[in-house]
Amino acid sequence: MDGTETTLHLIGRLLVAFLFLGTFATNATMKVEQHRARMEGYGIPMPSLFLWIGFAMEAVGGLMLVFDWHRQIGAWILIVFTIAATAIFHRWWTVTNDPLRRHFHISFVFGNCAVVGALFLLM
């Protein structure tokens, strides 16, 4: 915490980091095959490689925020990750047969826009 960061800023930074580190821990331990198969189904080349690059981005960016080490770089890593993951996994325009599932994907896109906004605020 530098001299200008308030307690509320610290809490906000740690909560944003927790989002990424928590999803990293869950996805990298319990959902690897599920995500890899979805990426393969979407036609993503080398899905395993790109999946693990994404996991690394989540972990490294999240830890950079936790330790307030090169916070701006960590935030940029997480912004790129969030945009890429959203484009890969939340293709709401392709969901035509299930209105509820389409709504969930649109909601995730909006939520991820807010996360990107929070990351910009951390810079």
Instruction: Give the Cα-Cα-Cα angle 57, 83, 103 (nearest 5 degrees).
Output: 125
Residue with tokens 């690394």: 56
pLDDT of residue 99: 94
Give me the tens of pLDDT residue by residue for the chain, a chain 123 residues long. 557 889 999 999 999 999 999 999 999 999 999 999 999 999 999 999 999 999 999 999 999 999 999 999 999 999 999 999 999 999 999 999 999 999 999 999 999 999 999 999 999
pTM of this structure = 0.92
Residue ranges of domains in the chain: 7-122
The total number of residues shown for the chain amounts to 123
